[in-house]
């Protein structure tokens, strides 16, 4: 479909927004991306500080396997991704339990032999879900056309698609119970830890179908991105420009102007006014509501489930601390066995053969954990002393959890800085620093790209299918699908 006269503005140069922008530009649309910062990527950016290049939030590349969402996107845009498969996605550690997560489940099956039937079902579901996601996924449905697309894909996947229905209303915990695994606290804790970082909740609440593909990441393949995860956004920004679009940095959108159900333009903090036929917002709906004006806020429904933000340490460290690891990523659960608010950390360190990532003889390390945002903004309101005290408390706690598995951790630290939910809000424009997407508790209560404005759509991790590179790219394709449908309808109308 030729779209030469269609003027599309994308708010935010995160991966979801840039993927949508590049695909639309390739179709011929006039595309402009507006980014408040001076670099792309958002939560999947790589930034420079004091001789280090740190991954801001996301650290693992995924979806690059043959036929995966990133593989297909690269082929469509002519991008050769600078990625290489990690032999081990990450290592899981809790007390003396150390599990490597390679593209096979041998270690897990050796430690939890009774879990084999569960993993067999998971693999079957994941295979079907990857198939359904090819070229985009028309969910949640918006009409007969979407149902027809799903039916065509579902028929091609039978008998697996019928099997999928039996899991659509199950929680993961119910799924585990059906295999007698709910009574094994070590296995449940392991699964909960994986789900918390992938679907933002634990087995008692996570939907089984969402979890099936999330748990597939180590098998489908984790990838190292040369130069850091932000390279993905940089290449996508280049693809936008190569196809005639524009990516404008330091352009913070402060208002979206509309009349009834139509957006007609945007205003930026530098006084610019930009017209648009369609707008794609790479923002959580809560942040979008702040831009649409007081009269329109009620039109952008807020998410009901409590969301997570993140506390992240950016450390310069002696890499010898991690020399025995078979991977660049390790997940650590504290000795208490609890998960949230600092008791579950994800650690990533830069490879030794990328000297531009850190000063000579050192490595760039990120240590992240889930945290609820409210306490941080309350502390900020109380004053600098209260905020810094909370920041110091979290820093010490994360270093303590890290030291449980790596006793020399504190001695290996050469520099330290931290990002809180307040930081995430400031740098990404995300309301209260919400990151990681929505808790995936139901297939039938998910948010799609559509808003109450006919020509305004959401992209990013707040819409189905949620976070991760393949997740936001699949969501971007869905947003484009709805945009094109709306444009086709508009063209037909007298």
Short-list 16, 13, 18, 24, CA closest to 483: 24
Residue 30 binned pLDDT confidence (cut-offs 50, 70, 90): very high
Do 299 and 355 lie in one domain? The reply is no
Give pLDDT tens digits for 434-443.
Answer: 998 889 999 8
The last residue of a domain, from among 183, 203, 223: 223
Do 300 and 446 lie in one domain? The reply is yes
Report H helices in 41-105.
69-77
**Residue 382 parent element (H or E):** helix 374-382
Please give the residue that has the higher pLDDT: either 233 or 155: 233
**Structural domain that includes position 31:** 7-45+61-82+227-304+440-492
Do 337 and 394 lie in one domain? The reply is yes
**Within a domain: 187:** yes
**Within a domain: 54:** no
User: In Å, what is the CA distance from 27 to each residue of 2, 3, 217, 236?
Assistant: 6, 6, 31, 15
Contacts 24+ apart (CB under 8 A), 272-275: 274/9, 274/32, 274/34, 275/7
How many percent of the chain have pLDDT more than 90? 82
**Within a domain: 53:** no
How many percent of the chain have pLDDT more than 70? 94
**Within a domain: 55:** no
**Within a domain: 321:** yes
Residue partners of 165: CB distance under 8 A and separation at least 6: none
Do 196 and 106 lie in one domain? The reply is yes
CA dihedral over 15, 17, 19, 21, signed as positive or negative: negative
Q: Which of 129-138, 332-341, 420-429 has the lowest average pLDDT?
A: 129-138
Residue 139 binned pLDDT confidence (cut-offs 50, 70, 90): confident
pLDDT value, residue 463: 94
**Within a domain: 36:** yes
**Within a domain: 87:** no
The last residue of a domain, from among 167, 194, 223: 223
Do 328 and 418 lie in one domain? The reply is yes
Do 98 and 218 lie in one domain? The reply is yes
Residue partners of 250: CB distance under 8 A and separation at least 6: 35, 36, 37, 38, 270
Query: How many angstroms separate the CA atoms of 54 and 349, rounded?
Result: 9
Do 140 and 154 lie in one domain? The reply is yes
Residue 161 binned pLDDT confidence (cut-offs 50, 70, 90): low
Output the pTM of the full model.
0.94
Give pLDDT tens digits for 86-128.
Answer: 999 999 999 999 999 999 999 999 999 999 999 999 999 998 8
Do 144 and 197 lie in one domain? The reply is yes
Do 153 and 214 lie in one domain? The reply is yes
**Residue 160 parent element (H or E):** helix 160-167
Do 38 and 119 lie in one domain? The reply is no
At how many degrees (to 10) do helices 15-26 and 69-77 cross? 40
Do 173 and 190 lie in one domain? The reply is yes
Residue 416 three-state SS: strand
Residue 492 binned pLDDT confidence (cut-offs 50, 70, 90): low
Taking residues 373-389, what's their average pLDDT? 97
Instruction: Report the domain count for the chain.
Output: 3
Do 103 and 163 lie in one domain? The reply is yes
**Residue 120 parent element (H or E):** helix 116-133
Residue partners of 114: CB distance under 8 A and separation at least 6: 179, 180, 181, 184
What residue has token string 């295979």? 127
The last residue of a domain, from among 408, 433, 458: 433
Short-list 443, 433, 486, 484, CA closest to 466: 443
**Within a domain: 52:** no
Strand partners of residue 249? 35
Domain with residue 271: its CATH number is 3.50.50.60
Please count the other Cβ atoms lying within 10 Å of the Cβ belonging to residue 240. Answer: 28
226 class by beta-carbon count within 10 Å (0-12 exposed, 13-18 middle, 19+ buried): middle
Residue 229 has pLDDT above 70, yes or no: yes
Look up residue 69 and give its two tokens. Answer: 């969402």
């Amino acid at each position: 479909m030729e779209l030469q006269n269609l003027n599309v503005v994308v708010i935010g140069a995160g991966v979801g927004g840039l993927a949508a922008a590049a695909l639309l530009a390739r179709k011929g649309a006039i595309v402009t991306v507006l980014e408040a910062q001076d670099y792309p990527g958002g939560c999947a950016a790589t930034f420079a500080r004091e001789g280090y290049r740190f991954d801001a939030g996301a650290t693992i590349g995924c979806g690059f396997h043959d036929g995966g969402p990133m593989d297909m996107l690269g082929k469509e845009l002519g991008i050769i991704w600078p990625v290489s498969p990690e032999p081990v996605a990450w290592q899981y550690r809790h007390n003396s339990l150390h599990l490597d997560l390679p593209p096979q489940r041998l270690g897990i099956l050796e430690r939890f032999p009774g879990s084999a039937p569960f993993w067999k079902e998971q693999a079957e579901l994941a295979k079907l879900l990857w198939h359904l996601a090819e070229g985009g996924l028309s969910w949640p449905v918006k009409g007969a056309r979407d149902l027809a697309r799903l039916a065509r894909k579902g028929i091609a996947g039978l008998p697996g698609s019928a099997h999928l229905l039996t899991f659509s209303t199950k929680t993961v915990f119910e799924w585990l119970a059906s295999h007698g695994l709910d009574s094994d606290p070590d296995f449940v804790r392991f699964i909960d830890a994986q789900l918390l970082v992938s679907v933002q909740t634990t087995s008692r609440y996570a939907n089984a179908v969402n979890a099936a593909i999330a748990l597939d990441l180590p098998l489908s393949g984790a990838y190292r991105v040369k130069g850091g995860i932000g390279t993905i956004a940089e290449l996508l920004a280049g693809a936008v420009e190569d196809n005639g679009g524009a990516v404008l940095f330091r352009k913070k959108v402060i208002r979206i102007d509309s009349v009834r159900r139509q957006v007609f333009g945007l205003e930026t903090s530098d006084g610019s006014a930009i017209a648009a036929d369609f707008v794609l917002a790479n923002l959580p709906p809560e942040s979008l509501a702040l831009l649409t004006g007081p009269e329109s806020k009620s039109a952008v429904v807020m998410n009901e489930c409590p969301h997570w933000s993140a506390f992240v340490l950016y450390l310069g460290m002696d890499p010898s601390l991690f020399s025995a690891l078979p991977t660049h990523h390790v997940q650590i659960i504290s000795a208490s066995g609890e998960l949230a608010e600092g008791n579950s950390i994800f650690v990533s360190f830069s490879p030794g053969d990328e000297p531009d990532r850190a000063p000579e003889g050192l490595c760039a390390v990120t240590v992240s954990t889930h945290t609820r945002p409210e306490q941080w903004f309350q502390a900020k309101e109380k004053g600098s002393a209260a905020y810094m005290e909370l920041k110091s408390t979290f820093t010490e706690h994360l270093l303590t959890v890290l030291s449980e598995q790596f006793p020399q951790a504190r001695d290996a630290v050469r520099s330290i800085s931290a990002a809180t939910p307040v930081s995430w809000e400031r740098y990404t424009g995300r309301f209260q620093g919400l990151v990681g997407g929505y808790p995936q508790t139901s297939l039938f209560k998910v948010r799609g790209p559509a808003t109450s404005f006919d020509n305004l759509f959401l992209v990013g991790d707040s819409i189905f299918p949620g976070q991760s590179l393949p997740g936001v790219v699949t969501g971007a394709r869905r947003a484009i699908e709805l945009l094109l449908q709306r444009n086709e309808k508009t063209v037909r109308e007298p």
